[in-house]
Structure 1
Amino acid sequence: MDDSPRPNNWPMMIGIAAVAGLAGFGASYVVGTGTKPAPAPATAPDKTGPVEVRIPAAYLASAGIAVEPVGSGGPSAEIAAPATVTSTPTGEAVVVARASGTITRVNHRLGDPVRAGEVLALVDSLDAASMSADRSVAAAKADLARKTYARESGLYRQGVTPRQDMEAAQSALAVANAEAQRASAIARAAGVAGNGRSVVVVAPISGRITAGAAMLGAFVQPQAELFRIADAGAVQVEAAVPAADARRIMPGDTATIISGRGAPIDATVRSVTPTVAGATQAATVILIPTTGAGQFIAGEGVQVRIRVRGDGSAVSLTVPEDAVQNIDGRDVLFVRTATGFVARPVLVGTRSGGIAQIVSGIRAGERVATRNAFLVKADMIKSAGEEEE
Structure 2
Amino acid sequence: MDITQNRTRLIAGAAGLALIAGTGGLLLGRAVLSPAAPSTATAPEAEEDHNPEGFVEMDPARANAAGIVTQRTIDGAFGAEILAQAMVVATPDGEAALTARADGAIIRITKHLGDSVRAGETVALLESRDAATFTADSNSAAARANAARLAFAREKRLFDARVTARQDLEAAQTALAEAEAELQRARSTAAAAGAAGGRHLAVTSLISGRITRSDAKLGNYVTAGTELFRVSDPDRIQVEAAIPASDAGRIMRGDRAVIELADGNVVDATVHSTTPSLDRQSRSATVLLDPVAAGRLIPGQGARVRITPHKAGSASGIVLPEEAVQSIGGRDVVFVANPKGFQAVPVTAGQRGGGRIEIVAGLKPGQAVATRGAFLLKAELGKGEAEH
**What is the distance in 2 between the residues matched to 1:232 and 1:310?**
33
Change (3 A) 1:174 1:217: same
2:26 matched to which residue of 1? none
Shift of 1:306: 2.1
The aligned amino acid for 1:80 is L
Q: How does 1:220-239 map to 2 (within 5 A)?
A: 220-239=222-241
Q: How does 1:172-191 map to 2 (within 5 A)?
A: 172-191=175-194
Q: How does 1:118-157 map to 2 (within 5 A)?
A: 118-157=121-160
The aligned amino acid for 1:154 is R
Change (3 A) 1:293 1:76: same
Q: Secondary structure at the match of 1:274?
A: coil
Change (3 A) 1:119 1:366: closer
Please provide the CA RMSD for this pair: 3.1
Whether 1:171 aligns to 2:177 is: no
**What is the distance in 2 between the residues matched to 1:230 and 1:361?**
44
Change (3 A) 1:75 1:67: same
Change (3 A) 1:338 1:303: same
Shift of 1:211: 1.3
1:69 matched to which residue of 2? 72
Whether 1:294 aligns to 2:304 is: no
The aligned amino acid for 2:72 is P
2:28 matched to which residue of 1? none
1:115 matched to which residue of 2? 118
Shift of 1:161: 3.0
Identity fraction in percent: 49
If the length of structure 1 is used for normalisation, what is the TM-score? 0.76
Would the aligned equivalents of 1:237 and 1:288 in 2 still touch at CA under 8 Å? yes
Q: How does 1:200-349 map to 2 (within 5 A)?
A: 200-261=202-263, 263-290=265-292, 292-325=293-326, 331-336=332-337, 341=342, 344-349=345-350
Larger deviation: 359-368 or 236-245? 359-368
Change (3 A) 1:206 1:256: same
What is the number of equivalent residue pairs in this alignment?
338
If the length of structure 2 is used for normalisation, what is the TM-score? 0.76
Change (3 A) 1:382 1:304: same
Q: Secondary structure at the match of 1:232?
A: coil
Would the aligned equivalents of 2:264 and 2:372 in 1 still touch at CA under 8 Å? no
Structure 1 unaligned residues grouped into runs of 5+ = 1-32, 35-48
Relative to its length, the structure with more helix (as a share) is 2
Shift of 1:198: 0.6
Structure 2 unaligned residues grouped into runs of 5+ = 1-44, 47-51
Shift of 1:262: 7.0
Whether 1:160 aligns to 2:163 is: yes
The aligned amino acid for 2:86 is A
**What is the distance in 2 between the residues matched to 1:238 and 1:64?**
28
Partner deviation per Cα, 1:369-388 (whole Å, 9 max, x = no partner): 224545556x469859x959
Q: Secondary structure at the match of 1:276?
A: coil
Shift of 1:340: 5.3
**What is the distance in 2 between the residues matched to 1:325 and 1:282?**
36
Indicate the structure (1 or 2) with the bigger Cα radius of gyration. 2
Would the aligned equivalents of 1:64 and 1:261 in 2 still touch at CA under 8 Å? no
Whether 1:90 aligns to 2:78 is: no
The aligned amino acid for 2:92 is P
